[in-house]
Amino acid sequence: MLKKRISIEIKKGVNLIIAEPLWSYPVTRGAIILSTGAYKDPVGKRGLASVFSDVLNERSNLLEKLEIYGAKIKSHASLTRSFVSFAFLNMRLKKSFSLLSDFMSDFTPDIETFNIVKGKKIDRLSILEEDPEYLISRKIQEIMYPDSNLSNPVSGKKEDIENLTLMDIENYYKKEFLRSQVDIVIVSTLNWKRIQDLIVNVIEKFRPQEVGLPSFPSSYISKKIVLRKNKLGNVFVSYFLPVPGVGTDAYLPLKLISYVLGEGSFNSRLMKRLREDLGIAYYVSSGVSRGYTVNGERFHGYFEISAETVKESKDRLIKEIENLIKVVHENGIMEQELQLAKSYYIGVERKRGETYRDILDTILLERIYNLEENYFLNIRNEIENVTMNDVQEAMQTLKKQEFSRIILEEEKGE
């Protein structure tokens, strides 16, 4: 679906990728990926990167101009990256890119805006603390990276947010944000030279430095964990283990197994057994997150099975899930199941590149996970080439004793 794709190094540490679709569209979309995120948050001030992004988004003088030009600019932070995404009307492109430059470089936050952002963040954290999936996800990060800043959620904790000062925000901007290595991805039908000239002004203040990431343990210890929460009601169960590798070879066989187990909705074994046959699960799913490396440091992806049930059915649910894990490990999956999973994901990949947003998101994934250029154009063949032997080898990572189990249930009364 691409007419042309160009990669340019604007300056050391700043790379620009421009993708031109086959069809014309009156909007230019893009995103700036910065190699900084929550792993940089100091002890006692978790959530700094996230609050900084919120402060970027809250400056009223820019919000008014964005409305006038019909432009959209939004910043947010993740564990290892920060992002600034944008969508501009082509007829107002120069003025919109000027706004993007102001958004990134004209940073003089006031104490009033900062306090408003802190208040909103604390309110959102209160809501998140009521979300079972958030609590389990946070525990998974703590187990996978016990000695890393990544053991804390991106959003931070209430007491950490309260400790943040305006000086922390300003220092993060000068020492982390402006020194970050940058990937800029743009999807547009406009002349690429014009786009490049507009981008140069946006990154004028950036002086990228080498990014130092924390190291992570390569070993993994099986755990059985029980979390308790007041007034929870239902019980939530999650099984997970790290994916031992990066790239297609490690990821695709497990992705196909995941479809057979729970990701394939009513085609999956868990859904048929736990919901249709026994009626003991409100929902059940499985999934695989992709492992990747940044500057030589590995970030594990993980394989997860999760389910929700009433407390009376907890033991039965656990027994059924663990039995299925054992059965799949010992006996594998059927050829028909493998082909169904492959057909599904090939169908999903065929939809990539149908819109501007699809193209942008696909190239962003390449950059975020350090994949080779046009990775997703070739992945259909990679899916088709996965054999039953590949699946059997992947099964070796699904031994019951290698999973960690997390149960989130209601706090028992006195």
C-alpha 150/C-alpha 123 separation (Å) is 22
% the chain with pLDDT above 70 = 91
DSSP bridge partners of 70: none
Is the fold of 2-202 the same as that of 224-410? yes
Q: In the predicted model, what is the mean pLDDT of the chain?
A: 85
> What are residue 217's DSSP bridge partners?
none
Q: What confidence tens digit (pLDDT) does each residue in 348-374 have?
A: 887 777 788 888 988 888 888 777 788
* Residue range 170-190, pLDDT digits in tens: 999 999 999 999 999 999 998
Q: What is the CATH number of domain 224-410?
A: 3.30.830.10
Q: What is the pTM of this model?
A: 0.82
Residue 44, judged by CB atoms within 10 A of its CB (0-12, 13-18, 19+), counts as exposed
Instruction: Please spell the DSSP secondary structure of 338-405, one letter per residue.
Output: HHHHHHHHHHHHHTTTSSHHHHHHHHHHHHHTTPPTTHHHHHHHHHHT--HHHHHHHHGGG-GGG-EE
C-alpha closest to that of 382 among 245, 243, 248:
248
Q: Each residue of 140-168: pLDDT tens digit?
A: 877 776 655 555 667 888 899 999 999 99
Q: Which two tokens stand for residue 61?
A: 């003088």
* Burial (Cβ within 10 Å: 0-12, 13-18, ≥19) of residue 115: exposed
CATH number for the domain running over 2-202: 3.30.830.10
**198 vs 244: which has the higher pLDDT:** 198
Whether 8 shows a pLDDT value over 50: the answer reads: yes
pLDDT at residue 59 in the model: 78
> pLDDT-derived band of residue 219, with 50, 70 and 90 as boundaries?
very low
Domain boundaries, the chain: 2-202, 224-410
Q: Are 294 and 150 in contact (CB under 8 A)?
A: no
SS3 29: strand
What pLDDT score does 202 carry? 92
168-176, long-range: CB within 8 Å, 24+ apart, which pairs?
A: 168/45, 168/48, 169/48, 169/51, 169/52, 169/55, 169/109, 169/114, 170/107, 170/109, 172/40, 172/48, 172/49, 172/52, 173/52, 173/107, 176/36, 176/40, 176/49
Residue 192 has pLDDT above 60, yes or no: yes
User: pLDDT confidence of 249, banded at 50, 70, 90?
Assistant: low
User: In this structure, are residues 389 and 217 in contact, taking their beta carbons and an 8 Å threshold?
Assistant: no
Q: Taking a C-beta distance cutoff of 8 angstroms, is the pair 49, 154 a contact?
A: yes
d(CA 54, CA 154): 12
